[in-house]
Structure 1
Amino acid sequence: MGPLLYYALPALGGYVMLSIFFLRRPRLLHTPWVPAFYPRLGAHRGGSGERLENTMEAMENSMAQRADLLELDCHLTRDGVVVVSHDKNLSRQSGVNRDVGSLDFEELPLYKEELEVYFAPGHFAHGSDRRMVRLEDLFRRFPRTPMSVEVKERNEELIRKIAGLVRHFDRSEITIWASEKSSVMKKCKAANPEMPTSFTVSRGFWVLLLYYLGLLPFVSIPERFLICFLPTIINRTYFPFSCSGLNQLAAVFSKWFIMRKSLIRHLEQRGVQVIFWCLNEESDFEAAYGLGATGVLTDYPTALRRYLDNQRPPAPAL
C-alpha cells in the first residue's frame, strides 16, 4: 500500500494541478469559436409576459426593447406549415383540445384572450394579436435577428423544413438548433450542420461530469450554446416536480452543482455562450450575469432592458 500511495498521490496531485491550469487557460489547447452574435437579452416565447406568447405582436414588442435573441418552439401543421407554438396540443393556449398536427394552418384557432405566464405564476399576459404565426413569417419580418428554434419531437419532416427555411433566408449562422433530446439533435445537425447547436440535457450532464472529473479542458466541445435553467428559480417560479420537497432538494443540489463561475468562464473562453432561462426578476438577472453568463432569456424584455441599461457605467465628468 505504501509504494502505491507514494506514486499515486503525486500523480493525482499533478493531474489536478494540470487540469486546473488548462481549465483557466483553455486557449492553450483549443481555438475558441468566434460567435456571430452575443445575445444579452433573449425573449422567451417572444416575450410572453408582456404580450401573448409567440405572436407577431410579442416579437415586435421585444424588438422594440432591442432584444438580441428570440426564443421559440416549432410544430408542423397537417398541411406541412412550420408554425411557432410552444405546445403540441392547443388546449392551454387556445382552449381547443386538438394537436397542431391535426389541423391545417388556416384552421388553427386564436390564442385565448389572456394566458398565464409559465415562469411567473399568477401573472397573465394580454394582447390584441391572437394569431399563431409561421416560422417563415418571422424569418421574413426579422431577417437578421438571431433566433433559437427548439424541436421537441423527432419529426423528420419538421426538421427538414426548418433547415430548408433557414437556408432559404440565408441565416444559418444566426439560427440555433435547440432540443432537449440528443436523438432529435442528431437529426437537426444532419439536416443543417451549419447552424450552431445548443446542449441537450444528456450532453449538459456529460459536460458537468467532465468538469468535476477534471477532464473538460482536454475534450472538444462541438456545441456553441448552453441554454440552461438558473437553479435559484426552482421552487420559486419554476416547479419541475409536483412534490414541494423534491423541488426544494433540486434547488439546493442544482445550485451547488451548476452555479460554478470557473465552469462558465471556461465555456465562455472556448466560445460556448451560456444563457440562463427563464428569469423575470432583477435578483435573478444579477445572479446570472454575476456568474458570467452571456445572456438571459426572459418573459419581460422591458424589465431586462431596463436592468441592462442601468448597468452601463456613468459617463465621465467633463
Structure 2
Amino acid sequence: MTQIFAHRGYSASFAENTMGAFVEAEKARADGIELDVQLTKDGEIVVIHDEKVDRTTSGKGFIKDFLYKDIRKLNANNKGVKKESIPSLSEVLEWLKTNKLQCNIELKNGLITYEGMEEKVIQLVRKYGLSDRIIISSFNHYSIVYCYRLAPEIETAPLFIEGIYMPWIYSQSIKAKGIHPKHSAMSDNIIINTMENGIAVRPYTVNKDADMHRLFNLNCTAIITDDPVKAFKIRKQYEKRP
C-alpha cells in the first residue's frame, strides 16, 4: 500500500515545518512526515525550508546569520493565531519517539554549504535511536553519498526535478535505497521499473486528485503531499483491491 508522507507536515492547513503541522499530520493518519533542515550561526539544526526566514516567519534575514536563541523568538505560524517557534531537529526527533511515523529529513545544502550538517544530523538520529525510521534526502547528491558513507544503516534518497534515465541504476550506484522525483518527471513505466529493481519511489509534491489516483493506482511506494487528509480519503478507494 502506498504510504503518505506529509510535506513539511500537514502544510495545506497548518504553518509548514512547525510542530503544529507535524502533530496534525499524525492526527490525519499520515505514515510519515517530510521536513527540511538548515544550520544556525552557532551550528544548531533547525527545521525550515527557505535559506531565509522572510517567507515563513515574522523575521528577516538568512538562517546562517541567526543565533539559535534569536531564531527561536520568531513566529513561524503564518496560518493561525497561536505563536509557533521554528523547531530544532532535536525537538522533532524527541516527538517522533512518541509515535511510529517515518521521517524524511531533507538537507537544504544546495545553495549554502553548511559545514558539518551531515555529521550533526546523523549524530542526532543515532542519539534518538531512529535510524530505521529516517530517510535522508537532498538535491545535493554529493551530500547523500557522504551520508551513506557516514551511516550506511540510514536510508538515503536523492531528489530530482527533471527525469533521469534508468534512475534505479543511478540509485544503486550511489547506494541509495529510494528516489524522490518531482511527480510530473516520472512516467508510469519508469516508476514501475524502478520499484521492480528494488528502489523505493516517493514523488513530491502530490496535491491534485488526478495525480494521487495515478500514483495509488500504480501502488507507488509513497507520495509526498501537503494534504494528508485528502490523500488518506483517496487511498481508501484502493485499499479494498486484491
TM-score range, shorter chain: 0.7 to 0.9
Q: Which structure has more strand as a fraction of its residues?
A: 2
Q: Give 2:92's aligned residue.
A: 138
The aligned counterpart of 1:275 is 202
What is the DSSP-based 3-state SS (H/G/I as helix, E as strand, rest coil) of the residue aligned with 1:311?
Answer: helix
CA distances 1:43-66 after superposition (whole Å, capped 9, x unpaired):
001121111001111001000112
Q: TM-score, normalised by structure 2?
A: 0.86
Q: Residue 311 of structure 1 corresponds to which residue in structure 2?
A: 238
- Runs (4 or more) in structure 1 with deviation over 4 Å come to none
Indicate if the aligned counterparts of 1:39 and 1:68 stay in contact, CA closer than 8 A: no
SS at match of 2:87: coil
- How many angstroms apart in 2 are the aligned matches of 1:278 and 1:46? 12
Q: Which residue number corresponds to residue 116 of structure 2? A: 157
User: What is the CA–CA distance in structure 1 between the aligned matches of 2:203 and 2:162, rounded to whole Å?
Assistant: 16
Count the aligned residue pairs: 233
Give the residue type in structure 2 aligned to 1:60: V
Aligned residue number for residue 259 of structure 1 = 187
Give 1:283 shift. 1.3
Partner deviation per Cα, 1:195-231 (whole Å, 9 max, x = no partner): 11112449972535xx8xxxx5xx7672211111111
Quote the sequence identity (%). Answer: 23
- Could you list the runs of 5+ residues in structure 2 that have no partner in the other structure? none
Partner SS for 1:149: strand
Aligned partners of 2:173 and 2:8: how far apart in 1?
Answer: 31
How far apart, CA to CA, are the structure 2 residues paired with 1:56 and 1:148? 15
Q: Secondary structure at the match of 1:156?
A: coil
Match of 1:111 in 2: 76
Amino acid at match of 1:160: E
Whose helix proportion is higher, 1 or 2?
Answer: 1
- Match of 2:220? 293
Q: State the TM-score, normalizing by the size of structure 1.
A: 0.67
Task: Write the deviation string for residues 219-278 of structure 1: whole angstroms up to 9, x where unpaired.
Answer: 7672211111111xxxxxxxxxxxxxxxxxxxxxx4xxx3132x3223223331111211
Whole-angstrom distance in 2 between the partners of 1:152 and 1:269: 30
- Mapped to 2, the partners of 1:172 and 1:52 lie a distance apart of 27
1:268-310 per-residue CA deviation (whole Å, 9 max, x = no partner) reads 2333111121111221101122334111111111111111224
RMSD: 2.5
The answer for unaligned runs of 5 or more in structure 1 is 1-37, 115-125, 232-253
1:79–1:105: 8 Å Cα contact kept in structure 2?
yes
Equivalent-residue separation in structure 2 for 1:103 and 1:157 (angstroms): 17
